Amino acid sequence: MKDLRMKRLMFVAAAAALAWPAQAADFLLLVQEAPTELAKRRDAGPAGAAYWQGFVAAGGTLAKAGALKGGGALEPTSPPGRGGLVLGGYFLISADTLASARSLAARVAANVRGGRIDVIAHAPTKTGM
């Protein structure tokens, strides 16, 4: 009898977990760029326009997916790190899972020529930040 109650309880808990909507979490898509690509920011010609259009397109893709919460370009002050890349910007997104966040990153990765996108999950803080 006790085993049957436990099985019922586990079944109800599992059914409730499946029916409960997933809680979205925040993720940062860190845009790591090659210094040669980053230099195009200051180009007033077609190369500079194409550089910025890539980020506009990436932001548009994330916005259409309902995931975009913010983002911005960064001005690196450190020398290139691993693989010769520098942190040039970020997108703040909301996604149901890490896999979903990675899928979104893969959809916009083509807009980051000569670089990559790292996906970092926000960790909960106890400081009220």
CATH superfamily ID and name for 22-121: Dimeric alpha+beta barrel (3.30.70.1060)
Residues 109-124 pLDDT 10s: 988 777 899 999 987 7
DSSP single-letter state for residue 96:
S
pTM: 0.76
User: 28 and 105 in contact (C-beta within 8 Å)?
Assistant: no
Residues 77-93 pLDDT 10s: 889 987 899 999 999 99
What six digits make up the tokens of 60?
């548009």
* 3-state SS assignment for residue 129: coil
Q: Which residues pair with 28 in a beta bridge?
A: 92, 120
